[in-house]
Structure formats: C-alpha cells, structure tokens
Chains A and B, each alone.
Chain A
C-alpha cells in the first residue's frame, strides 16, 4: 500500500515538474519571439511568404466549409421556426450565428488542423534533422527566421479568412433559405439587420485574432521543442492540433463570457 502511495506521489510530482518545465519553455519561446521581432529585415519578407501560404492555401477549404455551414444553418432555422416565429428570424439567426460563432470557430478549428499540423511538423522535422541547430550555428536567430514570420502570418491572415468565411456563409445561408423556405430577399435582409450590432463584426475579428495566436504559438512551440526523431515529430504534430483545438474552444467560452455578457 505504501509503495503504491509512493509511486502515486512520484508520478504526481513528476507531472507537476513536467508541466512547470513546459511553462518555462513556453515563456522562453515568448522571450525569443520578442527578440526576433527586432530583426524586422529578416522576418518581414518571410512573413509575406508565410501569409501567402496561410491565406491562399487555406482559402478554398475555408470557403467550402463556411458555405456548407451557412446553408445548413439556414435550413435548420427554417425547419425549427416555420409556422411559429416570423420567417425573417432566419436572416437574423443565420447572420448572428455565423458572425458570432460559426465563422471564427470553424475557421479556427480547420486551421488548427491545417496550419497547426503543418507548422508543428515543419519545425519538428527541422529540429530533429538539426536544421534549427544549423541556423543557430550560423549566428542567425531561429526566432526571426522561423517563428516570427509564422506567428505574424497567422495573426494577419486568419482574421482575413474569417471575414471571407463570414461573408460566404451568410450568402450561402441566404441562398439556401431562398431555395428551401418561403422567404424573400427583403425578409432575409430585414432579419439580418434587425438584431445586428456593429460590435458583432469586431467580436468576430477579436475571436479570430485570439484563435490565430493560439494556433500559431502552440504549433510553433510544439514543433520547436520536438525531441526524439520521427516519433517525436508525430507526437508534436498531434499534440499541436489537439491543444490548439481545445484552446480555441476554451477561448471561445472565455471571450463570450468577457465580451458578450458584461
């Protein structure tokens, strides 16, 4: 019995130490990022390349998924509300659901998979094949060459993708509603405008910005601190996607509480 307690204590202590070490490594990465920012001549051109990859590389899948989400939201709203609530509410529901929730969260989750996995795998591979060590050995900062461009690209491009997703999802919802429900353009626009507040758009962008930070920082951290060869790269990639996805959902809740309920 006492050996079981000892083993439990040992495991708990070990987990606490590992968690503290991870926090320390993450803080060190943040300091590195701050230092890397000062070398703007290095990271700005690379950030453009990364932004192009994030933006153009993700545009199709983002638009595809957001258009389906908008369409389905409109159809479900029509199914639930027909007969009991004015039909223009479909316009309100589609617009508000997409802008406040579906647009940023769906884009966040898609990009946690697409960009988060790519960044963690790229940086992880560079770590285990000593490319990051090589960069350091040449007197260059891995932060300004590898980390800052990726983080900046995400912080700039993910909000842009969310704007595209919001617009396309609302348009898709509008088209789907018109095809399947007895709703006119005037009804849809009236419904969309009646509950609309300018802050809704800002809220969508604020969420996108936080999600972008979560995706880029977590995936860069996991990739940059990869150990133990190909297996380590796999672990970092999976870990980056799972952690970023969970963090997005957590941030979604916290931001809703902080910004919508006060």
Chain B
C-alpha cells in the first residue's frame, strides 16, 4: 500500500504540492489526473525517493521513504517499477541491456540464460518483436520507446508500477495500445499502480480510482463512475478539457 500524508513541496517561491494526502490500496490502479505543471510527476518522484518532501511523508509498505537509509531505499526501489515520461532509456545501451538493467536481483542480473529469457518475455508482454532487443533507443519510435520503458520497469517483477505520462506525445492509436497494455499488465501481474496522466480517456479506461490534482492539491477522488458524476467544478472543467476557462 502507498500512503501519502500531508505532502508539501515547493521550488523557490512556487508551491508545487500543498498538503497532499492520498492512499493507493494493494492491487489498485490509481490514475492521477491534472493539467500540466501541477506537480503530478513530482508526486511520483517522492514515492520512489527521487525527491524529498519539505513537509509530510510518503509511506510505501509501511516504510517512510524519506527516512530510509541508502541500502533500504535501494531495496524498496527494487520493488517499484518506474515508467518515465520519455522512456529515459540509456541511449548508450541497446534495448536488451536497457531491459536487463531492470533486473534488480543481482543473481538474476548475472545469469545470462535468465536474462535472455526474461528480456524476451518482457518484450513479448509489451508487444514488441524479439529482434527489437538488439536495436539502440535512437532507432525506436516514440511508442516503442515507451513500451521498452515499460518492459524495463516490469523486468524485475515489481510490486508497484508508477507510470509518468505513459501516453503523452503519442497519437491516439498508440495511446490506446499503451492504455490497453497498462490495463492488461495491472490485471495479469497484479501490481499496485499509479498512472500520472492528463489523458482523461486513458484514465477512465485503465484506473480503478481517479484522483484530480490541481494547483498542488487533490480536489477530487473516486471511481471512474463517481468521477463522471462529480459536481466539483475543477472535475467538470477537466472533463470538458477546458481548464483555461471558467469552471462549468
């Protein structure tokens, strides 16, 4: 379970997260919606310990992330798969080596047979051909890079998956492919997921619950059905994809 309690973060004078409280239950897929620049990615980075909160705490599996020692944090991170917005693939390594780095267990990482089998298995899970393994990231399309990023995140069989804008910058067809894949992965692997997105359709397709983050605060949270029926002005405005105008 992931618990975020009264989390606050600011960069200089800019308040990015303001007293955010959120709980993601075991096996649940939570979509975190919100317009660009409202701190969704910052929230994810707190969960994996890439950022430290100014105030509040993030508890993963009962552990306070900001208080963990180096080795404890590395151990926790090995249970979390993080899918970066633009893939964040290591461009000096081919796809095979990129996915291999996702194997957080040192014994598995050093076992060539296991590595080969697991890399191929992960490529299959994300619907990529086996020969993609020998390609360099620069030779991949945007959609393929995202899928390799997901393959790397699931390689170590994590308990949690954090997706940072998995469909941003993709055309609708590729976005649908990724959304379907996320849904399938969550069901097949039984992981607990948080998906940061500003794609309303994708969130409704994949999430068990949806939270809306605007101006650093969670303004609404509920199942897709509850969300659809919500009368919260920010939710209505977001559903209309009209954030720049007055709430409807």
Contact stretch, chosen from B70-78, B187-195, B200-208, B235-243: B70-78
Residues of B contacting A140 in the complex (Cβ-Cβ under 8 angstroms): 74, 101
Interchain CA distance A126-B137 in the complex, whole Å: 13
A134 touches B74 (CB 8 A): no
| B102 on interface, CB distance cutoff 8 Å | yes
Contact stretch, chosen from B22-30, B53-61, B86-94, B213-221: B86-94
| A133 on interface, CB distance cutoff 8 Å | yes
A139 touches B78 (CB 8 A): yes
B84 touches A138 (CB 8 A): no
Given A130-B84, A130-B85, A133-B50: A138 in contact with B90 (beta carbons within 8 A):
no
- Distance (whole angstroms) from the CB of A132 to the closest CB of chain B: 9
Residues of A contacting B101 in the complex (Cβ-Cβ under 8 angstroms): 135, 138, 140
Interchain CA distance A126-B84 in the complex, whole Å: 13
Interface of A is mostly: helix
Given A139-B104, A140-B101: A134 in contact with B84 (beta carbons within 8 A):
yes
| B45 on interface, CB distance cutoff 8 Å | yes
Among candidates B82, B89, B90, residue contacting A137 with C-beta atoms closer than 8 Å:
B82
Interchain CA distance A147-B73 in the complex, whole Å: 20
Interchain CA distance A158-B4 in the complex, whole Å: 49
Residues of B contacting A134 in the complex (Cβ-Cβ under 8 angstroms): 82, 84, 88-90, 152
The total of Cβ contacts below 8 Å across the A-B interface reads: 50
Residues of A contacting B156 in the complex (Cβ-Cβ under 8 angstroms): 138
Chain B: CB-nearest residue to A136: B50
B88 touches A130 (CB 8 A): yes
Chain A: CB-nearest residue to B92: A122
Residues of A contacting B74 in the complex (Cβ-Cβ under 8 angstroms): 139-141
Interchain CA distance A133-B156 in the complex, whole Å: 17
Interchain CA distance A134-B88 in the complex, whole Å: 6
Residues of A contacting B73 in the complex (Cβ-Cβ under 8 angstroms): 139
Interchain CA distance A131-B97 in the complex, whole Å: 14
Residues of A contacting B65 in the complex (Cβ-Cβ under 8 angstroms): none
Residues of B contacting A137 in the complex (Cβ-Cβ under 8 angstroms): 48, 50, 77, 80, 82, 84
A131 touches B50 (CB 8 A): no
- Distance (whole angstroms) from the CB of B189 to the closest CB of chain A: 17
- Distance (whole angstroms) from the CB of B169 to the closest CB of chain A: 14
Given A137-B80, A138-B102: A129 in contact with B88 (beta carbons within 8 A):
yes
Residues of A within 8 A of B (CB-CB), count: 14
Given A138-B101, A138-B102: A130 in contact with B86 (beta carbons within 8 A):
yes
A138 touches B85 (CB 8 A): no
Q: Which of B79-124 contact A (CB under 8 A)?
A: 80, 82, 84-86, 88-91, 101-102, 104
Chain A: CB-nearest residue to B93: A131
Residues of B contacting A129 in the complex (Cβ-Cβ under 8 angstroms): 86, 88, 91
Interchain CA distance A180-B53 in the complex, whole Å: 71
Residues of A contacting B45 in the complex (Cβ-Cβ under 8 angstroms): 133
Interchain CA distance A129-B87 in the complex, whole Å: 9
Q: Which of A115-135 contact B (CB under 8 A)?
A: 126, 129-131, 133-135
Residues of A contacting B77 in the complex (Cβ-Cβ under 8 angstroms): 136-139
Residues of B contacting A35 in the complex (Cβ-Cβ under 8 angstroms): 70
Residues of B contacting A133 in the complex (Cβ-Cβ under 8 angstroms): 45, 50, 84, 88
Interchain CA distance A140-B77 in the complex, whole Å: 9
B78 touches A131 (CB 8 A): no
Residues of B contacting A136 in the complex (Cβ-Cβ under 8 angstroms): 50, 77
Chain B: CB-nearest residue to A49: B92
Residues of B contacting A138 in the complex (Cβ-Cβ under 8 angstroms): 77-78, 82, 101-102, 104, 152, 156
Residues of A contacting B75 in the complex (Cβ-Cβ under 8 angstroms): 139
Given A137-B77, A139-B74: A131 in contact with B104 (beta carbons within 8 A):
no
- Distance (whole angstroms) from the CB of B230 to the closest CB of chain A: 33
Chain A: CB-nearest residue to B84: A130
Q: Interface residues, chain B, CB within 8 Å of chain A?
A: 45, 48, 50, 70, 73-75, 77-78, 80, 82, 84-86, 88-91, 101-102, 104, 152, 156
25 A–B contact pairs at CB < 8 A?
A: A35-B70, A129-B86, A130-B88, A131-B89, A131-B91, A133-B45, A133-B88, A134-B82, A134-B89, A134-B90, A135-B90, A135-B101, A136-B77, A137-B48, A137-B77, A137-B80, A138-B101, A138-B104, A138-B152, A138-B156, A139-B73, A139-B74, A139-B75, A140-B101, A141-B74
The 4 closest A-B pairs by CB, nearest first: A134-B88, A139-B77, A130-B88, A137-B82
